[in-house]
Amino acid sequence: QLQLLESGPRLVRPSETLSLTCTVSGGSISSRSFFWAWVRQPPGGGLEWIGSINYSGTIYYNPSLMSRVTMSVDTSNNQLSLRLISVTAADTAVYYCARDAVYSSMDYWGQGTLVTVSS
């Protein structure tokens, strides 16, 4: 059974960098049929796609976040990473990683991790 687990600091200071890792187990991150996505959800709010990356490093970013986001993949450790710079309180959210089937939907999700931006 495929499992995804997000990890990283739960508290980030304003103007600093949010960094998260998603570890995939029970399957390979190197499948050609899938990308791996980051999605966030502010408290009480809806879902926002941040970006998607595949095993070879092909990346697509949400244009609204593109200037601040960097995603990467580590196939040797079956992990993907997210960096978001210059954070503000508006970046406070639960951050999820998910498996993103090519030209389809997100079929496996991590449990999510709440990241709070506060001084």
Helix (H, G, I), strand (E, B) or coil at 107: strand
**Side chain identity at residue 81, one-letter code:** S
Q: Of these, 75, 86, 102, 116, which contacts another protein (CB under 8 A)?
A: 102
Q: How far is CA 30 from CA 5, 7, 19, 34, 42, in A?
A: 17, 20, 22, 8, 30
The residues facing 96 across adjacent strands are 39
- On the 0-12 / 13-18 / 19+ scale of CB atoms within 10 A, 118 is exposed
Residue 62 binds to another protein (criterion: CB under 8 A): yes
Q: How far is CA 22 from CA 19, 45, 70, 82, 109, in A?
A: 10, 22, 14, 8, 10
Q: Of these, 84, 110, 115, 117, which contacts another protein (CB under 8 A)?
A: 110
From the CB of 77, what's the least distance to another protein, in Å? 22
Residue closer to another protein by CB (options 17, 30) is 30
From the CB of 36, what's the least distance to another protein, in Å? 10
Residue 47 binds to another protein (criterion: CB under 8 A): yes
- Binding segment for another protein (CB under 8 A), chosen from 24-32, 49-57, 68-76, 82-90, is 49-57
What residue ranges bind another protein (CB under 8 A)?
35, 37, 46-49, 51-52, 60, 62, 96, 98, 100, 102-107, 109-112
